Amino acid sequence: MITTVKGMRDLLPPETRVWNRLEETAREVFALYGFDEIRTPVLESTELFVRSVGESSDIVNKEMFSFEDRGGRRLTLRPENTAGVVRAYVEHSLAQEGLVQKLYYLGPQFRAERPQKGRFREFRQIGAEVLGAADAATDAEILILLFDLFSRLGFTGLRVSLNSVGTDECRPAYVDALRAFLAPLAESMGEDDRRRLEQNPLRVLDTKDPALAERLAEAPQMLAFLDAESLAHHETLLAQLDEAAIPYTIDPRLVRGLDYYTRTVFEVTAPNLGAQNALLGGGRYDRLVADLGGPKTPGIGFAIGEDRLVSALPEAYRLDALLRKGTVALVALGEDDRADALALARTLRAAGIAVDFDPRGRGPGDGLKAAGKKGHALAVLVGSREREQGIALVKNLALRTQDIVPRAELVTFLKGKISS
Q: Is 234 in the site for RNA (CB under 7 A)?
A: no
What's the closest the beta carbon of residue 60 comes to RNA, in angstroms?
10
Stretch that binds RNA, among 21-29, 86-94, 132-140, 389-397 (CB under 7 A): 389-397
Given a contact cutoff of 8 angstroms between Cβ atoms, the answer to whether 260 and 52 are in contact is yes
Q: Residue 337 and residue 56: Cα distance in Å, rounded?
A: 68
Site for RNA in 355-374 (CB under 7 A): 362-366, 368-369, 371-373
Q: Is 70 in the site for RNA (CB under 7 A)?
A: no
The single residue among 57, 138, 262, 297 that binds RNA, judged by CB under 7 A, is: 57
Of 348, 352, 398, 355, the residue nearest 377 (C-alpha): 398
Phi and psi at residue 63, to the nearest 5°: -120, 5
Stretch that binds RNA, among 140-148, 173-181, 290-298, 392-400 (CB under 7 A): 392-400
Q: Is 305 in the site for RNA (CB under 7 A)?
A: yes
Q: Is 208 in the site for RNA (CB under 7 A)?
A: yes
DSSP 126-193: EEEEEES--SHHHHHHHHHHHHHHHHHTT--S--EEEEE---TTTHHHHHHHHHHHHGGGGGG--HHH
Closer to RNA by CB, 56 or 151: give it: 56
What's the closest the beta carbon of residue 114 comes to RNA, in angstroms?
3
Burial degree of 152 (CB within 10 A; 0-12, 13-18, 19+): middle
Burial degree of 2 (CB within 10 A; 0-12, 13-18, 19+): exposed
Closer to RNA by CB, 162 or 279: give it: 279
What's the closest the beta carbon of residue 398 comes to RNA, in angstroms?
6
DSSP at 40:
-
- Contact residues toward RNA (CB under 7 A) are 3-4, 6-8, 57-59, 62-63, 80, 111, 113-120, 123, 125, 192, 196, 203, 206, 208, 256-258, 267, 274-281, 303-305, 307-308, 333-334, 362-366, 368-369, 371-373, 381, 383-386, 393, 395-398, 400, 402
